[in-house]
Amino acid sequence: MAVKQTNNSKVDLVYRKRKSAEEMRHQVITFALMIFLTLVAFVAVAYPKTFSPIFSVPFILLLAVVQVIFQLYYFMHMSHKGHEAASFFLYSGLLIGLITILAFMTIVWI
């Protein structure tokens, strides 16, 4: 978290408290959203007559990808300044992994 410095310590304290409260709000909202996504996945599995496995498996995988993105972006603080290099390497590795998986899937299914 970037800290704004001034000569007035009272102003700095108020600024840091406000930024911390804002970050905590984002963390709680993201956590609640992840719990909701987990419950949705459980519902998709709990009712196999309503949700067929053809729908449930890709749907759960999609929810898992969304949760991984939330984990990295909010809980691993990738949204903060100063994490550009780590984000670049992480997303580059993800891209290479996805390309590799697509290549193997193409080879197997052709």
Q: Is the pTM of this model over 0.95?
A: no
Contacts of residue 65, defined as CB under 8 A and 6 or more positions apart, other chains included, come to none
Cα angle for residues 7, 13, 9 (degrees, 5° grid):
25
Number of domains in the chain: 2
The answer to whether 37 touches 63, Cβ cutoff 8 Å, is yes
Span 15-39, average pLDDT: 89
Is the confidence at residue 110, as pLDDT, over 70? Answer: no
Statement to judge: residues 53 and 68 lie in one domain? yes
Instruction: Give the Cα separation of 12 and 25 in Å (integer).
Output: 20
pLDDT at 5: 60
The least confident of 1-10, 75-84, 85-94, 100-109 is 1-10
**Is the model more confident about 84 or about 7?**
84
**Residue 103 in tokens:** 């290549």
Statement to judge: residues 32 and 3 lie in one domain? yes
Statement to judge: residues 63 and 73 lie in one domain? yes
**Domain containing residue 87:** 81-110
Contacts of residue 69, defined as CB under 8 A and 6 or more positions apart, other chains included, come to none
pLDDT at 2: 54
